[in-house]
Amino acid sequence: MRITIFGSGYVGLVTGACLADVGHDVTCIDIDADKISHLKDGKVPIHEPGLETLIRHNLEEGRLHFTTDAAEAVNFGLLQFIAVGTPPDEDGSADLQHVLKVARTIGMHMQDYKIIVDKSTVPVGTADQVRATIAETLSERGAELAFDVCSNPEFLKEGAAIEDFSKGARVVVGTDSERVKRAMRECYAPYSRLQDKLIFMDVRSAELTKYAANAMLATKISFINEIAHLAEHVGADIEQVRHGIGSDPRIGYHFIYPGCGYGGSCFPKDVKALSHTARGLGHESALLEAVEAVNHRQKGQLFNKLAQAFDHDLQGKTIALWGLAFKPNTDDMREAPSRTLMESLWDAGAKVQAYDPEASDECRRLYGQRGDLTLTRHRDEALEGADALVICTEWKAFRAVDFDVLRDALASPVLVDGRNLFDPDTVKAAGLRYYAMGRGDSV
Ligand code: UGA
């Protein structure tokens, strides 16, 4: 099958590489000429485990192509996936200008029947806007061509995207056309594990499903963080509570890990966008707004705990920070709790010495050279001359720590653990002051 993918960002590249890998013929198009020229050489601009190998292999096999030529791309595939960004507008709504620009491009260049597949996370009603934009562009050209628009939201997790693509929990397709259903079945047919997971529904339900899934997951996180907050005040241990509630299969163990707040490009943006949709309909979503507010408070907890440990005077202190990415196995720092912490520390006159296995370049790109930020090449180098250590991301390499060495390396033996990685008794026995999330007397 011939497939075109608009947008060579995270979602577009993973989708393109995975579909090419099972034998489809895929062309990826992006407006960023630099990016495309690097991709043609097999250089991938993002860190996603397995992606570069997959892209290189399929480039060599001749099944994956990259271009900036719109006419060539539009006339390549029967399926035209739209996987461009939908960043939040100032008011929290999703900005659809890139999606609608692609729709115009398709309308301008198409010569025969096309199926347009919305892959980007877009508000309910976007497929209708895409349809109207293409119809308008075709009519400006005086062309009468048939096309369909369907919704096929992605449910990929950064760091596990390739596995998620081939073994995901479901493939949602929003369409009322039998022709589209046949084509989408053919597209996903090579993935035997997905065959009984194709869920067809109407377009608007598919669009809402994506937001509902992310909002539900974000709600679980804010819920457990809220209970963690209470646990600190009543002298309970959230980790024990987590085990206690997770054992009920109706609740389950997944996605109830307390921490320093959710980040990334999806949850914060999608919760805001859904809230905005609700508000636009005259229905304030008290629940979604609370989810966001709890997350905001949670991201501030790391700084609050440090401030408390140093009697609210962090001026001139050097804080070691392990983990800059919003979660492990990615270099993505969008909405990462580490950023809220660093910015508060700088405001309070402290210096940061940070280590992350993958995100140092991204951090440099975001904050540039500054006297109060040092990025180290090794985990323990970040401890040199530091007063305290804060852990923001649960990278595997942070899990085994010699607490005696850590205590001796830090000027004030303070450990703030934003991910509850350690047993409080073990840490305290080594003479460290341990501040975890929701763990009773460690507040
Ligand atoms: C999320 C969803 O999990 C995907 O299903 C969805 O496709 C994707 O958004 C998207 O919309 O594109 P992702 O943002 O990659 O994927 O990251 P997650 O692994 O879901 O983690 C999100 C945040 O929640 C991280 O900051 C993580 O640390 C935090 N988290 C997660 C917790 O604090 N506790 C948990 O129990 C789980």
This complex has an ipTM of 0.94
As a whole number of Å, the CA-based R_g of the chain is 24
For 149, which DSSP code?
E
Under 8 Å between Cβ of 218 and 421: no
Give residue-wise pLDDT tens across range 33-62: 999 999 999 999 988 999 999 999 999 999
Rounded distance from Cα 264 to ligand 1 centre (Å): 7
Give residue-wise pLDDT tens across range 375-407: 999 999 999 999 999 999 999 999 999 999 999
For the ranges 48-57, 114-123, 191-200, 233-242, which has the lowest average pLDDT?
191-200
Write the residue with the smallest CA distance to atom 19 of ligand 1.
Answer: 157
Decide if 266 is catalytic.
yes
Write the residue with the smallest CA distance to atom 2 of ligand 1.
Answer: 157
Quickly state the pLDDT bin for 441 (edges 50, 70, 90).
low
Residue ranges of E strands in 195-325: 198-201, 318-322
- Residue 429 identity: A
Q: Over pLDDT 90: what percentage of the chain?
A: 94
Rounded distance from Cα 157 to ligand 1 centre (Å): 6
Give the mean pLDDT of 208-232: 97
Give the mean pLDDT of 66-80: 98
Pocket around ligand 1 at a 6 A CB cut-off: 121, 154-158, 214, 217, 221, 255-257, 259, 262-264, 266-267, 326-327
* Local structure of 275: helix, strand or coil: helix
Classify domain 2-201 by CATH number.
Answer: 3.40.50.720
Give the mean pLDDT of 149-170: 94
216-442 is a CATH 3.40.50.720 domain: yes
Tokens representing residue 289 in the block: 């707004």
Mean pLDDT, all residues of the chain = 96
Rounded distance from Cα 187 to ligand 1 centre (Å): 26
User: Is residue 77 over pLDDT 80?
Assistant: yes
Under 8 Å between Cβ of 391 and 417: yes
Output the pLDDT for position 90.
84
* Local structure of 231: helix, strand or coil: helix
Domain ranges of the chain: 2-201, 216-442
Rounded distance from Cα 267 to ligand 1 centre (Å): 7
CA 47 to chain centre: 12
Tell me which of 48, 121, 151, 266 to substitute to probe ligand 1's pocket, judged by most ligand atoms within 8 Å of the beta carbon.
266
Give the mean pLDDT of 210-214: 97
Instruction: Write down the pTM of the prediction.
Output: 0.93
Tokens representing residue 43 in the block: 């250089």
CA atoms of 69 and 167, how far apart (whole Å): 32
Nearest to 29 by CA among 71, 67, 62, 72: 67
CA atoms of 161 and 167, how far apart (whole Å): 10
Give the mean pLDDT of 349-368: 97
Give residue-wise pLDDT tens across range 267-279: 999 999 999 999 9
Output the pLDDT for position 443.
42
User: Is residue 212 over pLDDT 90?
Assistant: yes
- Number of H helices and E strands in the chain, helices first, is 16, 14
Write the residue with the smallest CA distance to atom 25 of ligand 1.
Answer: 262
Rounded distance from Cα 383 to ligand 1 centre (Å): 29
Tell me which of 84, 221, 339 to substitute to probe ligand 1's pocket, judged by most ligand atoms within 8 Å of the beta carbon.
221
Quickly state the pLDDT bin for 87 (edges 50, 70, 90).
confident
Torsion angle defined by CA atoms of residues 252, 257, 262 and 264, in that order, rounded to the nearest 10 degrees: -80
Same fold, 2-201 and 216-442: yes
Residue spans of alpha helices (H) in 348-397: 360-367
Under 8 Å between Cβ of 190 and 26: no
Quickly state the pLDDT bin for 192 (edges 50, 70, 90).
confident
